Amino acid sequence: MISKILISVFIITGITFSQNSPQKINSAKQTGNLEGRHGLDLNIGIYDNTNIASITSVSGFNASVLTNSSIGFMGAIAYQYWFKNFLSFRIGAGALVTDVSTKTTAGIEVSSEVATVAPILTGVNFYPLQISEENTVLPYISLYAGPYIGVYSKSEVGIASVTEETVVETVIGARLGAGLDFLIGSLFKLGVNAGYHFVGDYSQPIGSETNYSGPDYSLTFGFVF
């Protein structure tokens, strides 16, 4: 349900901004000249690990309650530099909260598990409409690659004991995506973005899975200087 709401927000935002005419944009003295400029971006959205099924089970007294979700929240910050109006370099770091599980056995034990994947990705954005002219509505495609650091944490609390386990492992992966940025004046931008993460297999499970490939959908809030 949350993913459907956020995806609808992305679509509505894109349609609303794209309806602005070039005359209105120019009258606001906005500029699409990005060559040699820098940018800082904040991305907030959702990550859908298609390898995990959403499960909820509840049974009777002294039994377990298990909740597992395939939808997680994601966030990232990134630095961007435009070599040309149509080509930029980007490096960023983020976190994909992919797997949360809790288990309770009445009067005996409580356990919790959290799996997080933290990608540190470097790559390029290509803006095809910027090749021949300067624009303030900027569709683009992106390709990034780098390490995906998987962190799995598990804790169990029993009647007379407390145990904790942490697993950290890194694999290489890549993200192919597309998005739409809107310049607001000469300093700010808003955007929508979607992409797919191609992640290698971990040697041991990070939470419930060894592979966390899947799509993400996010909103972008940026500062250009």
Q: What is the pLDDT of residues 7-24, one digit of tens each?
A: 554 455 444 444 443 443
Long-range pairs, 50-55, Cβ under 8 A, ≥24 = 50/213, 50/214, 50/215, 51/209, 51/211, 51/212, 51/213, 51/214, 52/98, 52/99, 52/208, 52/209
What average pLDDT does range 157-163 have in this prediction?
76
Strands, E assignment, 22-85 = 38-48, 55-58, 65-68, 71-84
In this prediction, residue 115 carries a pLDDT of 82
Structure confidence at residue 157 (pLDDT): 78
Per-residue model confidence as pLDDT tens digits over 113-124: 788 899 999 999
**Tokens 């976190």 -> residue:** 95
Lowest mean pLDDT across 66-80, 134-148, 196-210: 66-80
pLDDT interval class at 103 (50, 70, 90): low
pLDDT band at 99 (very low <50, low <70, confident <90, very high): low
pTM score: 0.76
111 pLDDT more than 50: yes
147 — pLDDT class (breaks 50, 70, 90): very high
Q: What are the tens digits of pLDDT across the range 39-68?
A: 999 999 998 865 544 444 444 444 444 445
What average pLDDT does the structure give for the chain?
79
Domains of the chain, earliest start first: 2-216 (2.40.160)
In the prediction, which pLDDT does 217 show?
A: 95
Least confident of 26-30, 34-38, 189-193: 26-30
Phi, psi of 31 (to 5 degrees): -130, 140
Q: Which residue has the tokens 């700010």?
A: 188
